[in-house]
Chain A
Amino acid sequence: MKHTISVLVENEFGVLSRISGLFSGRGFNIESLSVAPTMDAALSRMTLVTRGDDRILEQITKQLNKLISTIKVVDFTGGEYIERELALIKVSTDAESRAEALRIVDIFRAKVIDVTPKSYTIEITGAPAKINGILELLRPMGIKEIVRSGPVVIGRGARGVVG
């Protein structure tokens, strides 16, 4: 089962490799990972997506917590949360397909952020499923490049996750 986990870590040299090394060294799967500093400049927040049964997930969260640099681990799966991913998509367009591409962009509430006679570069934000959806529709036109950020998540409600 897919799990989305937020990890608050010390914002210091080498932390990313401690986390990624933990996953590779113990054979845990890692589908995506995004990292950036938080409001508290001493901390970074990582959002990672992984897969595994309950026992593996228990080990993943325990092992993450065991790292000295880890402040907090939150597995959002099973709770109420909002998940967003950013994708930048460069799609080939010709006279015939340009209008259709724009319609798709409009339907998905995406944006065209760069235009050439032969291409559109599209920016879209949303749950990963939505991004998969637009890609599905754009694919027949010819996608030249995709850059996805990997999802970030935040819990619903008034309470925030802080160190």
Chain B
Amino acid sequence: MELTGSQILLESLKLEEVDTVFGYPGGAVINIYDDLFDSSINHVLTRHEQAAVHAADGYARCTGKVGVAIATSGPGATNTVTGIATAYMDSIPMVIITGQVPTPLIGNDAFQEADMCGITRPCTKHNFLVKDIRDLAKTIKEAFYIARTGRPGPVLIDFPKDIQVTKHQFSYPDKVHLRGYNPTYAGNSRQIEKAAKMILAARKPVFYVGGGITLSGADDVLLKLAEQTQIPVTTTLMAMAAFPQRHPLALGMLGMHGTFYANMSVTDCDLLIAVGSRFDDRVTGRIDSFAEKAKIIHVDIDPTSIGKNVEVDLPIVGDLKDVLSKLYGYLNKNSELVEDLVEATDEWRTTVAEWKERHPMTYRSSKSVIKPQFVIEKISEMTDDNAIITTEVGQHQMWAAQFFAFRQPKTFLTSGGLGTMGFGLPSALGAQVAYPDRQVIDISGDGSFQMNSQELATLVQYKLPVKIVILNNNYLGMVRQWQQMFFEKRYSQTVMELPIDFIKLAEAYGATGLQATKVDEVEATIKQALETPGPVLMNFKVSREENVLPMVPAGKAINEMVLAS
């Protein structure tokens, strides 16, 4: 069957089981959009290409499938870069298709030309420029394969306009053969056995779990392993939803804004079992004193993550699901030794419990002013167990991580690595497209929200009932906090002087706007929002100079926390 390039693209997407794409049309993709017009593939039109990529990213994060976004050449394509870099830093499987000027014009500074392969090389797992129609189907197959296997990541296909209209026989390859790409899935059994022995010999062990656990789908086996061994679990921002936060073994988040007890546990432990985490600077604080008394086991599918920031005693390269299952199996066969371990680590759990009691995750409550943490706690109480929470970046993001009790995997979508303001609203949009019947809530600040607020239009157009929570302090709160703590309260460019009427803004787009200015209005506002069909924006006027605590100042060890203002 002879098809045009753009038809080949759409047929290939179907074979990759893509039912939804996010995008924005333009001259260099007009042929693709013409074919989309009567295709069975569902297209969601965002109001900005960056948002299309974040939406595809949110879709991928909550479903585990590959997210797909389409943008035109030049500015359309360059607008996707922040979205791609966001997905890259958090290892999210995505395929981004950008239009490109016709091949004879490439390099001529043609209208709306940008060298997308050049621009995205450092922020994609891989990228392709399709220069020959004969390579197209193979390229798409490889792009999806690379995006979803190994350590996942975004892959860009730059697709020139002349190739889109060239006809060619369509046959989709069954298999991918890439000589230079063959990720290791099975963990080395001998290494795993060594890990089991190190665990059995430990007296103060801690699991330090990162986003890889979700990407591998190993949440269940982690829970089983933690319960089997009774080892406490601290999670990074990326893994907050990967372990039930109300579990007695849950220590919450570690690092710069981690809990006192997580940071103390890591500082004092004698064995740190790092799984799918990468010793990011926001986690480790001063690196030479991070877990300095501990032996370190590091399990990751990406060999470059291991030994990059800290030296480890036992590296295991492999898929977490495989490695943790084998570890669980080995320990299960040695249940008497595990019983001994549980007994021998009883004192450790008591110590951890004492830390937890001494400095629980808390804040000073108020009756006169709405505390942002209080709003998060209420949302946590009032939402369904499978509600999906997205965030922007800043104070509200940290409060969401600290005070929302996550219950199910893949329910917390946040830009961890890149820290992208403006991520929350479009990613919530993508999540709601994936799960029309689940509660999807974007927790936002007044600063971040304005970075992609145009997506209110998309929510209204597609009747996506995302609920937006703005913790409004009229500041760029996180930077203000740093200025307060380290720059003598010189609030340079962090005061959002113009008070915006967010209710009117929501209404202008056809969404519902609600506001709470008093403490006793919080619950009613959330209740009303959750009961109102369609998108709802909630504007909470919160305590303006509230700080995110605990806080480890930059360059300090993670046990050197500022606990109170």
Q: B455 to nearest A CB, angstroms?
A: 31
Please indicate the chain B residues that have their CB under 8 angstroms from the CB of A62 in the complex. Answer: 303-304
**A68, B304: Cβ atoms under 8 Å?**
no
Measured in the bound complex, the distance between the Cα atoms of B178 and A10 in whole Å is 10
**A25, B307: Cβ atoms under 8 Å?**
no
Please indicate the chain A residues that have their CB under 8 angstroms from the CB of B181 in the complex. Answer: 68
Residue of B129, B146, B180 near A14 (CB, 8 A) is B129
Please indicate the chain B residues that have their CB under 8 angstroms from the CB of A21 in the complex. Answer: 121-122
Residue from the set B125, B179, B302 with the largest chain A CB neighbour count within 10 Å: B179
**B180, A9: Cβ atoms under 8 Å?**
yes
Please report which residues of chain A, range 63-109, place their CB below 8 angstroms from some CB of chain B when the two chains form the complex: 63, 65-71
* A159 interfacial by beta-carbon distance below 8 Å: no
Q: A5 to nearest B CB, angstroms?
A: 15
A41-58: contact bitstring with B at CB < 8 Å (1 yes, 0 no)?
000000000000001001
Residue of A9, A17, A18, A66 near B302 (CB, 8 A) is A66
Please indicate the chain B residues that have their CB under 8 angstroms from the CB of A132 in the complex. Answer: none
Please indicate the chain A residues that have their CB under 8 angstroms from the CB of B125 in the complex. Answer: 68
Please indicate the chain B residues that have their CB under 8 angstroms from the CB of A63 in the complex. Answer: 304
* B499 interfacial by beta-carbon distance below 8 Å: no
* A163 interfacial by beta-carbon distance below 8 Å: yes
**A25, B122: Cβ atoms under 8 Å?**
yes
Residue of B nearest to A65 (CB): B303
**B179, A10: Cβ atoms under 8 Å?**
yes
Residue of A nearest to B146 (CB): A68
* A32 interfacial by beta-carbon distance below 8 Å: no
Report if A10-B180 is in contact (Cβ < 8 Å); known contacts: A55-B307, A66-B302. Answer: yes
Measured in the bound complex, the distance between the Cα atoms of B184 and A66 in whole Å is 12
Residue of B118, B126, B308, B311 near A68 (CB, 8 A) is B126
Report if A66-B303 is in contact (Cβ < 8 Å); known contacts: A14-B117, A71-B179, A163-B179. Answer: yes
**B129, A13: Cβ atoms under 8 Å?**
yes
**A17, B121: Cβ atoms under 8 Å?**
yes
**B179, A59: Cβ atoms under 8 Å?**
no
Measured in the bound complex, the distance between the Cα atoms of B122 and A68 in whole Å is 13
Residue of A nearest to B178 (CB): A68
Residue of B nearest to A63 (CB): B304
Please indicate the chain B residues that have their CB under 8 angstroms from the CB of A10 in the complex. Answer: 179-180
Residue of A nearest to B306 (CB): A62
Residue of B nearest to A22 (CB): B122
Please indicate the chain A residues that have their CB under 8 angstroms from the CB of B179 in the complex. Answer: 10, 71, 163
Measured in the bound complex, the distance between the Cα atoms of B131 and A65 in whole Å is 26
Please indicate the chain A residues that have their CB under 8 angstroms from the CB of B118 in the complex. Answer: 17
B290-318: contact bitstring with A at CB < 8 Å (1 yes, 0 no)?
00000000000011100110010000000
**A66, B304: Cβ atoms under 8 Å?**
yes
The tally of residues in B whose CB lies under 8 Å from a CB in A reads 19
Please indicate the chain B residues that have their CB under 8 angstroms from the CB of A59 in the complex. Answer: 304, 307-308
Please indicate the chain A residues that have their CB under 8 angstroms from the CB of B307 in the complex. Answer: 55, 58-59
**B121, A18: Cβ atoms under 8 Å?**
yes
Report if A70-B303 is in contact (Cβ < 8 Å); known contacts: A17-B118, A17-B121, A59-B308. Answer: no
Please indicate the chain A residues that have their CB under 8 angstroms from the CB of B302 in the complex. Answer: 66
Please report which residues of chain A, range 8-31, place their CB below 8 angstroms from some CB of chain B when the two chains form the complex: 9-10, 13-14, 17-18, 21, 25
Measured in the bound complex, the distance between the Cα atoms of B130 and A13 in whole Å is 11
**B303, A67: Cβ atoms under 8 Å?**
no
Please indicate the chain A residues that have their CB under 8 angstroms from the CB of B146 in the complex. Answer: 68
Q: A131 to nearest B CB, angstroms?
A: 33
Q: A25 to nearest B CB, angstroms?
A: 5
Residue of A nearest to B311 (CB): A55
Residue from the set B131, B146, B302, B303 with the largest chain A CB neighbour count within 10 Å: B303
Measured in the bound complex, the distance between the Cα atoms of B180 and A63 in whole Å is 13
Residue from the set A10, A14, A70 with the largest chain B CB neighbour count within 10 Å: A14
Residue of A nearest to B183 (CB): A66
Measured in the bound complex, the distance between the Cα atoms of B126 and A70 in whole Å is 12
Residue from the set A55, A65, A68 with the largest chain B CB neighbour count within 10 Å: A68
**B180, A68: Cβ atoms under 8 Å?**
yes
Measured in the bound complex, the distance between the Cα atoms of B302 and A25 in whole Å is 18
Q: A80 to nearest B CB, angstroms?
A: 26
Q: A161 to nearest B CB, angstroms?
A: 14
Measured in the bound complex, the distance between the Cα atoms of B124 and A25 in whole Å is 13
Q: B157 to nearest A CB, angstroms?
A: 13
**A70, B180: Cβ atoms under 8 Å?**
yes
Residue of A nearest to B142 (CB): A68
Measured in the bound complex, the distance between the Cα atoms of B267 and A88 in whole Å is 58
Measured in the bound complex, the distance between the Cα atoms of B181 and A37 in whole Å is 20
Please indicate the chain A residues that have their CB under 8 angstroms from the CB of B311 in the complex. Answer: 55
Q: A134 to nearest B CB, angstroms?
A: 39
Report if A71-B122 is in contact (Cβ < 8 Å); known contacts: A13-B131, A14-B117, A55-B307. Answer: no
Please indicate the chain B residues that have their CB under 8 angstroms from the CB of A55 in the complex. Answer: 307, 311
Residue of B nearest to A26 (CB): B122
**A67, B180: Cβ atoms under 8 Å?**
yes
Measured in the bound complex, the distance between the Cα atoms of B181 and A67 in whole Å is 8
Measured in the bound complex, the distance between the Cα atoms of B129 and A66 in whole Å is 20
Please report which residues of chain B, range 169-199, place their CB below 8 angstroms from some CB of chain A when the two chains form the complex: 178-181
Measured in the bound complex, the distance between the Cα atoms of B151 and A24 in whole Å is 22
B386-429: contact bitstring with A at CB < 8 Å (1 yes, 0 no)?
00000000000000000000000000000000000000000000
Please indicate the chain A residues that have their CB under 8 angstroms from the CB of B131 in the complex. Answer: 13
Please indicate the chain B residues that have their CB under 8 angstroms from the CB of A68 in the complex. Answer: 125-126, 146, 178, 180-181
Residue of B nearest to A40 (CB): B179
Report if A69-B121 is in contact (Cβ < 8 Å); known contacts: A55-B307, A62-B304. Answer: no
Chosen A-B contacts, 24 in total, with CB atoms closer than 8 Å, are: A9-B180, A10-B179, A10-B180, A13-B129, A13-B131, A14-B117, A14-B121, A14-B129, A18-B121, A21-B121, A21-B122, A25-B122, A55-B311, A62-B303, A66-B302, A66-B303, A66-B304, A67-B180, A68-B125, A68-B126, A68-B181, A69-B180, A70-B180, A163-B179
Task: A17-B121, A62-B304 given; name 4 further pairs at CB < 8 Å.
Answer: A14-B129, A21-B121, A68-B180, A70-B180
Footprint of A on B, CB under 8 Å? Answer: 117-118, 121-122, 125-126, 129, 131, 146, 178-181, 302-304, 307-308, 311
Give the 6 A-B residue pairs with the shortest CB-CB distance, closest first. Answer: A62-B304, A68-B126, A71-B180, A70-B180, A68-B181, A25-B122
